[in-house]
Chains A and B, each alone.
Chain A
Amino acid sequence: MGRAMLLLVSGLVIISGIIQMNNTKRTELLPARTVDKYYEQQARNISGSLIDKAINNLLIDMEWEGTVTTNDNYSGEGTLTTSADPDNPLDEYKVLLTSSASYGGYTAETQVLMSRDSFSKYSYFTDAEKLPDGQEIWWWDGDEVTGPMHTNGTFRMSGSPTFNGFVSSPNDWVGYTGNEDSNNPDVRHGSDTPQFNEGANFNLNRTRDLPSEEQLTELANLASTGGITFAEDAELEFYIDSNEGFVKRIKDSTETSYQLSDYNSIISVTGQAKVKGIVKGQVTLHSTQKIEIMGDILYDTSPIDDVNSTDLLGLVSEGNVIIDKDAHTDNGSSNLTIHASIMALNTSFEVEDWSSGDPRGTLNLLGGIIQKNRGPVGTFSGGSVKSGFTKSYVYDDRLLQTIPPSFPRESIFSIVYWKDNPVVKSDN
């Protein structure tokens, strides 16, 4: 018994000795580690501040290039430089910000890739959620949208429409049962419950402005230096011959064909453009006035059937993009299919005679719509279509990464990635 007690006490003494030694060692190391941690953090903070400063510069002036260096306001030293994206050095719409900052012998480096995204990434974009005549449009039960959505106006929700892509706006949405004059979200939303399955931000600090006239002039200039231009109204049809993509212009029963691969993929019409056909390759059709869709516009290889399809079409109208009232009859059915990313700057993508006549079939759109004002494609009552088309819009997922040639870009940069490289301690 006495021997056991002796062993127990000896053990406790040894253990408490070990703990005491460790505590002493920790007390010695802790200040040093704390100081190191502080230096590391300072270096990291300075590096991040330089990046923030550069991002702010880009928000004010999207053409900004240059360097940012630390001054007396910073506790350490550092420099930020801008350069091209190393993976795509020729992409003028991307800029890599690299900042390097030192403090107390520690150096932190941060790299942020910024990009001016193309409007084509949106499945749905409006400047205002109103018809050109001022009527406001509601998203209803049964509406289901995929891909990124944005409005500079205010989304109006009735019931539980479903959004399977990120939704954004500078303004909070208003519910059918809510009160739009209220700033209290509960009152504003009422009992309506839209489903934002990929998240949403209704508190953006600025609008996303539609492309400037400069960008449209640039598009027309690109067409006139290596693309296809028409100085007056043009009726165009895309087609395939010998596995090559062509576009033909039909004028007074005369057809003139252009092999798309002989040009720089931009077609510009000074006037109105009528278009339909099968697209092989990547093309952007720009028109200074309206673009009228006369029949199906299909990719040679639909990305739904083959994810590796490279066929891509952008339609950029400085007027409306209108579906001709007889477009659905061109293929002998009551339906119409369009594969394209569509931009209508003045003002809408809409259907001719949308409010009259018997209901047509289904309007199948694979791509996205970017427009100043939301345009009408038909009317409905009690869940059934009364005039115009039934909508079936599917987002072309490739548009998240791939852009129709020279499709207009947003005027602001967004962050592609933010990379904090490990903090390094200098040898000295």
Chain B
Amino acid sequence: MKKIFLLSFFLFIPALILHAQTTVTFNIDLKAMMKDSTFIPGQDFIQVTGSLYPLGNRRAVRLKDEEPVDSVFTAEVEFSRRNNDENLKFNFEIVKPDELISEKGRRTITLTGQNIIIPPVGFNSFVR
């Protein structure tokens, strides 16, 4: 009985810790940018930067247009449970061979320990 209790205890605790991480799915719709060639797939790439590890000033995560290929680029980033209840400031950047295009507005979310999916808005487009 004691063994069962200990076993379930050791199995349960790591599961809880894992669950408390926040996985943020960043999405961005680049249809409009592709239309006017501001973003050229294959030549340029899109990345997300932010204020909390593993994002940071010099740490960006690249987004990809995965199946279905629909010009919506996606990346999943996991944030430590230590960051729960903290505000994550983030923005998307288009990286061209000789230029970095940054967004002109601020995006923020609060990390809650539950998974968050950022709906696909356009580059430099903000919710209202």
A residues contacting B by CB (< 8 A) are: 130-131, 133-138, 140, 158, 176, 180, 354-356, 376-382, 386-387, 391
Contacts and interface: CB of A to CB of B under 8 A. Distances in A.
A134 B116 contact: yes
8 contacts: A134-B112, A134-B116, A136-B110, A158-B105, A355-B122, A378-B128, A379-B128, A381-B125
A138 to B, nearest CB: 7
A381 B125 CA distance: 4
B117 interface: yes
B109 A356 contact: no
Contact of A382 (B32, B106, B124, B127): B124
B127 A137 contact: yes
B109 A135 contact: yes
B126 interface: yes
Contact of B87 (A180, A378, A382): A180
A136 B111 CA distance: 11
Which of A135, A377, A387, A391 gathers most chain B CB within 10 Å?
A: A135
Interface string B111-125: 110001111111011
Interface in B61-101: 87
A381 B126 contact: yes
B104 interface: yes
Nearest to B127: A376
A387 B116 CA distance: 22
A356 B127 CA distance: 12
B122 A386 contact: yes
A158 B106 contact: yes
Nearest to A376: B127
A386 B87 contact: no
A197 to B, nearest CB: 21
B119 A355 contact: yes
A133 B117 contact: yes
Contacts of B87: 136, 180
B118 A135 contact: yes
Contacts of A134: 109-112, 116
B119 A136 contact: no
Nearest to A380: B128
Q: Which 6 A-B pairs have the closest CB atoms?
A: A379-B125, A134-B109, A136-B108, A381-B125, A386-B125, A376-B127
Contacts of B32: 386
Nearest to B114: A134
A382 B122 contact: no
A379 B109 contact: no
Contact of B126 (A133, A356, A379): A379
B122 A133 contact: no
Nearest to A138: B106
B109 A133 contact: yes
Contacts of B121: 355, 379, 386-387
B127 to A, nearest CB: 5
A381 B121 CA distance: 10
A382 B104 CA distance: 8
Contacts of A387: 121-122, 125
Contacts of B122: 355, 379, 381, 386-387
Contact of A135 (B104, B107, B120, B124): B107
B124 A381 contact: yes
Which of A354, A356, A377, A381 gathers most chain B CB within 10 Å?
A: A381
A391 B124 contact: no
Contacts of B110: 130, 134, 136
B93 to A, nearest CB: 15
Contact of B116 (A133, A180, A378): A133
A380 B116 contact: no
A355 B116 contact: no
B11 to A, nearest CB: 30
B106 A131 contact: no
Contacts of B29: 355-356
A217 to B, nearest CB: 29
B118 A133 contact: yes
Contacts of B117: 133
Contacts of A382: 104, 124
A170 to B, nearest CB: 17
A136 B87 CA distance: 9
B128 A176 contact: no
